Amino acid sequence: MTKKAWQAFSAAREQYRSLVERLSMVPNLGAYQQKLVDSRSGPSYKVETPAVYNEALDEVTRDSSIKLILAADNPGRREQAAENRRYLVGPSGKIAEKFFRDNPEMGIDFRENVLILNKTPVHTPRTAELAELCRLGGKQVQAAVEESQRVMAELLFAFHRSLAPVPVWIIGYSEMKKGGVFERYTGCLRSLYKSFPKRRSELFLYRHFSMNQFTIDLNQQRRPGETTAETLNRIGAAYRERVLARSL
């Protein structure tokens, strides 16, 4: 990175850390998350990190080669564990790693060349349960979750500008629709990229890696003679237009 780009990257990283620190001080957030975990039929576990900063970002240096920015949903059970505190380290992350390993022509090492963000750092066992967390926590938690989405959209924008030209993949767009748990995130992205048209063509939306949705969709939509990169560019742009077109 140039000196200017590194300064911008470092500033965005500190803003990200500050956001997580503020979220961690929301009264009873961890208690509401634990109540959510205990009420479901899935695996029981202790909520150790209510809001998760991706500590992998601290390993990025001015000499790092970032070839892709990827924004997933929110931290799950493994991501919030004190031993991890990193994004996409569970089953979805393993699928992502395998995808890039199986497609070496893309020239991307998932753990070395990808900057991973989320749409919010607030943990829930499953993404859709953010709505239930807001119900349990009331207006204070709901406001915190919505504000975190606004800031994370701004941080994606800031990281993109500091690292450009680099593609941005937003993984898991189903909850970005009107009425979805990430509606606030979507609205902020629309506003930000409207004022940044030069980078618009670097923004792509895809299905999530969970349950292999990403790869299944890619294979179903691949046209004869297309490379993997060509298919990804085509369908990622189409999903971008479907979700964000009105304001872009």
* Torsion angle of the four alpha carbons 231, 234, 235, 240, in this order, in degrees rounded to the nearest 10: 150
Kindly report the average pLDDT of the chain as a whole number: 95
Per-residue pLDDT tens digits for 168-184: 999 999 999 999 999 99
**Burial group, residue 205, by CB count within 10 angstroms (0-12, 13-18, 19+):** buried
Per-residue pLDDT tens digits for 199-242: 888 999 999 999 999 999 999 999 999 999 999 999 999 999 99
Each domain of the chain, given as residue ranges in start order, spans 3-247
Q: SS3 for 69?
A: strand
**C-beta of residue 222 within 8 angstroms of C-beta of residue 179:** no
At residue 51, φ and ψ (nearest 5 deg) are: -125, 125
Q: Output the pLDDT for position 145.
A: 98
Query: Tokens 């022509």 label which residue?
Result: 105
**C-beta of residue 89 within 8 angstroms of C-beta of residue 78:** yes
Per-residue pLDDT tens digits for 130-155: 999 999 999 999 999 999 999 999 99
Evaluate if pTM is beyond 0.75: yes
Res 246 pLDDT > 80: no
Per-residue pLDDT tens digits for 47-106: 999 999 999 999 999 999 999 999 999 999 999 999 999 999 999 999 999 999 999 999
User: Which two structure tokens, joined as six digits, stand for 39?
Assistant: 């009420």
Beta bridge partners of 171: 206
**C-beta of residue 119 within 8 angstroms of C-beta of residue 72:** yes
User: Which two structure tokens, joined as six digits, stand for 247?
Assistant: 């304001």
Q: Output the pLDDT for position 200.
A: 86
Q: Kindly state the percentage of the chain with pLDDT values over 70.
A: 99
Secondary-structure class of domain 3-247 per CATH: alpha beta
Q: Output the pLDDT for position 248.
A: 46
User: Which two structure tokens, joined as six digits, stand for 183?
Assistant: 């509606």
Identify the residue with better confidence: 126 or 41: 126
